[in-house]
Structure 1
Amino acid sequence: MNSARRADAESEYLVLQEAAEWFAVLRADDAALADQLEWQRWHDASPSHRAAWRRVEAVSAEFQLLPGEPARIALDEVGPRARNDGRRAAIKGVMLLCLTAGLGGAVFGRRDTRNWLAGLNAQQGTRVGDIRQLVLADGGALWLNTNTSLDIDYTPALRRIALYSGEILITTAQDSQQPARPLVVDVLHGRLRALGTRFTVRTSADATLLSVYEGKVQVEPREGGGTRIVAAGAQLRFDAASIGQPYPLDDNATAWTEHRLMPDQMRLDDFLAELSRYRRGHLGCAPEVAHLRLVGSYPLADTDRILAALAATLPVRVRRLHDWWVTVEAAPLEK
């Protein structure tokens, strides 16, 4: 990381910390009018302050911590059926985001809105931190990583998996029907066609990551740009209009199917970004310790234990401003 990027990262980290600390001050029982006025001055002083505050509010919304009669009324109007539905938490999150910081327009104005809404009503899914394995109708195996949503649609002509969010690993099986039906995975950015294989697909708003462990997979972006066949041992990213260059995959990247992470000389900031997928809230890394390297095996059953292990083996400490706002930073020097 060059000096300019490092400075930007440090600045963003400090502003986020300030925003989280202000949130804690204003939520305290002894918060005074003077605190509110001082926060307002801080909030209005810079666009970066306002952006950081919106991010803290968005994270807090996951935990239903934002007060206010409008939020309570909106949630009550969801109705008893939704309250009993597994999608209630997602619906709550959307409502709270719409009621705070004007984030609703940003969510519903996205090009992938239809994909996102389909994910809320998906047949299959996992919550944050959960991992599931399914047996497909053709005998294949499908693993769903944390916070994943998808539909499975096997028709007389096609075996289709629609992945709306998250990550999956597929081990394909030979189709019992003749002629054999193609097996495809549809994502926001295009279609993947399995050619007798074992592979993972990981989605994000900007691109999809394909990693092929056995066989081959054909990539076809949604908006054209040709196709490419990716062979075992390679991975690449693609978006709706283009396909990136393949590069060697990490054999340990599928350790999540065994409910663990296995970094091999992974940077601490990259490791924490990966770990954050398995817990709610914000998990940050201070720039001064981001370069530290990790190896080993970390069971995902308890992410707090992983953080404790980091503090015991690295020159870092875990700082908790809230249950949902945690940062790993340099341990203080002993006097």
Structure 2
Amino acid sequence: MQDRLQLYPKQDSTPPQPTADARPGYADLQQAAEWFAVLRADDAAETDRSRWRQWLDADERHRAAWSRVEAVNAEFGVMPQVVGHRVLARNGQHRRKAIKTLAWLAAGVTVAGSVGSSREVRGYFAALTAQYRTEVGETRRQQLADGSLLWLNTASAADADYSDVLRRIALHRGEIMIQTAHDKRDPARPLVVDVPAGRMQALGTRFLVRLEERATVLTVLEGKVMISPSGKAAPLMLPAGSRVRFDADAMGTPAPADESMAAWSRNLLMPDGIRLDDFLAELGRYRRGHLGCAPEVAALPLVGVYPINDTDRVLAALEASLPVKVRRILPWWVTVEAKDPLPGKPG
């Protein structure tokens, strides 16, 4: 990245990389963001760069935090190298069309700041060319050919492929909700959703499917859904009012689900006693950049109805209703911290 290269002398143009198991804490991430802001300032001095280098070399967690900050910054101006090379090699109209999609793809930059495995690359390209897509902060409702309804959550991508024998939806990224319609074909074609971890067959249902980094989450609100994992995990029939997390080789324990989990389809989030840090993690999906939560306020319970189409308004509402303040170190690095002092604690 350009910012990184400018900070090092030519003989040492790349900072040491953290190991895979280095996990930065909240304080490490805050310090990294503050250093990024200092070094990006017009009046940054060589002494600032020297002190930053001492901080960076002092702990692997510092290097991991710096990598995280650089990755977030990459969403705002640096394309993944492997994808960018292929896109920029195109000519004419196809090249212009491809470049327009890069802003959407930037939301998928990994914590390391680049696209990793070949499977990830295939997934990104499938998302780029998907029939139905949304950008960060956008939701979409789509009626399918059989009358079924498809909702896409923020930064999501899916394809619908209907044949004479099957109604197939492939989820490449993000989250969808489906309200199935009765198929007018005779015999009726099954409706399935395919993800890397397996296939889900709808049985007169309304349900949500969400792709996480290492698992798929299925939430059934009406009817039931049969899960057929692609690996060693046993199939499971999930009834209404349940959700489960699974991957190809392991099936989690079903947990209760309710209508609040589909509130995003109405551009709302409806926390009911959940922790503040969990709520902010969900809210962060609807905005670019980093949205963090200080440990001392992480467990504050939250109840309410919040619009996802204006996340800054939600943050202002949190400041007005909770003993917290919103701190913006950089335009794209925002954290929610305790007001000083917290009620019941010494100043």
Q: What band does the TM-score fall into relative to the shorter chain? A: 0.7 to 0.9
2:316 matched to 1:316?
no
Letter in 2 for 1:88: L
2:65 matched to 1:52?
yes
Between the aligned partners of 2:335 and 2:205, the Cα distance in structure 1 is 39
Between the aligned partners of 2:107 and 2:182, the Cα distance in structure 1 is 41
How many residue pairs end up in the alignment? 315
Q: SS at the partner of 2:161?
A: strand
1:200 alignment counterpart? 208
Query: Displacement of 1:228 after TM fit?
Result: 0.7
Out of 216, 221, 224, which is 1:216 matched to? Answer: 224
User: Which structure 2 residue ranges, 5 or more long, are not aligned?
Assistant: 1-22
Q: SS at the partner of 2:77?
A: coil
Between the aligned partners of 2:78 and 2:338, the Cα distance in structure 1 is 29
Q: 1:232 to 1:323 in 2, by over 3 A?
A: same
Between the aligned partners of 1:117 and 1:64, the Cα distance in structure 2 is 19
Q: Is the 8 A contact 2:24 2:61 kept in 1?
A: no
Q: SS at the partner of 2:29?
A: helix
Letter in 2 for 1:114: R
Between the aligned partners of 1:38 and 1:174, the Cα distance in structure 2 is 65
Between the aligned partners of 1:233 and 1:73, the Cα distance in structure 2 is 46
Letter in 1 for 2:69: V
2:96 matched to 1:88?
no
Between the aligned partners of 1:64 and 1:188, the Cα distance in structure 2 is 29
Between the aligned partners of 2:87 and 2:122, the Cα distance in structure 1 is 23
Between the aligned partners of 2:331 and 2:297, the Cα distance in structure 1 is 22
1:276 alignment counterpart? 284
Q: 1:73 to 1:254 in 2, by over 3 A?
A: closer
Between the aligned partners of 1:158 and 1:196, the Cα distance in structure 2 is 15
Structure 1 runs (4+) greater than 6 angstroms displaced: 72-76
Between the aligned partners of 2:270 and 2:253, the Cα distance in structure 1 is 25
Q: 1:247 to 1:218 in 2, by over 3 A?
A: same
2:131 matched to 1:123?
yes
1:4 alignment counterpart? none
2:254 matched to 1:246?
yes
Tell me the TM-score normalised to structure 1 length: 0.88
1:6 alignment counterpart? none
1:139 alignment counterpart? 147
Q: Is the 8 A contact 1:128 1:147 kept in 2?
A: yes
Between the aligned partners of 1:276 and 1:220, the Cα distance in structure 2 is 31
Between the aligned partners of 1:90 and 1:270, the Cα distance in structure 2 is 25
Between the aligned partners of 1:80 and 1:304, the Cα distance in structure 2 is 39
1:331 alignment counterpart? 339
Between the aligned partners of 1:63 and 1:41, the Cα distance in structure 2 is 27
1:22 alignment counterpart? 35
Q: SS at the partner of 1:181?
A: coil
Query: Displacement of 1:88 after TM fit?
Result: 2.3
Q: 1:78 to 1:191 in 2, by over 3 A?
A: same
Tell me the TM-score normalised to structure 2 length: 0.85
Q: Is the 8 A contact 1:112 1:188 kept in 2?
A: no
Query: Displacement of 1:116 after TM fit?
Result: 3.2
Between the aligned partners of 1:30 and 1:84, the Cα distance in structure 2 is 39
Letter in 1 for 2:295: P
1:63 alignment counterpart? 76
Q: Is the 8 A contact 2:158 2:171 kept in 1?
A: yes
RMSD: 2.5
Q: 1:11 to 1:84 in 2, by over 3 A?
A: closer
Between the aligned partners of 1:102 and 1:292, the Cα distance in structure 2 is 31
Query: Displacement of 1:76 after TM fit?
Result: 6.4
Q: SS at the partner of 1:266?
A: strand
